[in-house]
Amino acid sequence: MTTVKLFYADGRIYAVEAKGHTGYAQAGKDIVCAAISVLVQTALLALQKVANAGTEKTEGEGYLRYKVTSTDSQTLQASDIILKSMKVGLADIASAYPSHIRLEETKNVY
């Protein structure tokens, strides 16, 4: 199962952690894993290239964790929109494949 954890502070998502493998299908044929990866990685790229947000990232096999390090309100607002959009997609996948993805939310802990 893949777990995606969203971290909140001041009502905004500021960090994301995705870990594990969905187990839906073999590597290279796992559409659930691919969908999750596309959403999580595209959100990171959008933070960097659209919102121009500073980010810190840690990654490894089956693992990606990143957080927004910018502090100005305009960048934080744009970042939150990007991350909430990602959350909408992840929630939809989680409702369709509940045995393969768990979406968790937590406040002020990273």
Q: Residue 70 and residue 93: Cα distance in Å, rounded? A: 29
CATH number of the domain residue 28 falls in: 3.30.70.1490
Residue 75 CB-half CA count within 13 A: 15
25-76 pLDDT per residue, tens: 888 899 999 999 999 999 999 999 999 999 999 999 999 999 999 999 999 9
43 found inside a domain: yes
User: How many structural domains is the chain composed of?
Assistant: 1
Read off the pLDDT band of 100 (50, 70, 90).
Answer: very high
Domain membership of residue 68 as a residue range: 2-105
56 found inside a domain: yes
Q: Residue 95 and residue 65: Cα distance in Å, rounded? A: 22
Read off the pLDDT band of 110 (50, 70, 90).
Answer: low
99 found inside a domain: yes
Q: pLDDT averaged over the chain?
A: 94
110 found inside a domain: no
80 found inside a domain: yes
Q: What is the structure's pLDDT at 7?
A: 96
Looking at 12-72, list the stretches that DSSP marks H as alpha helix, in order from N- to C-terminal side. 31-49
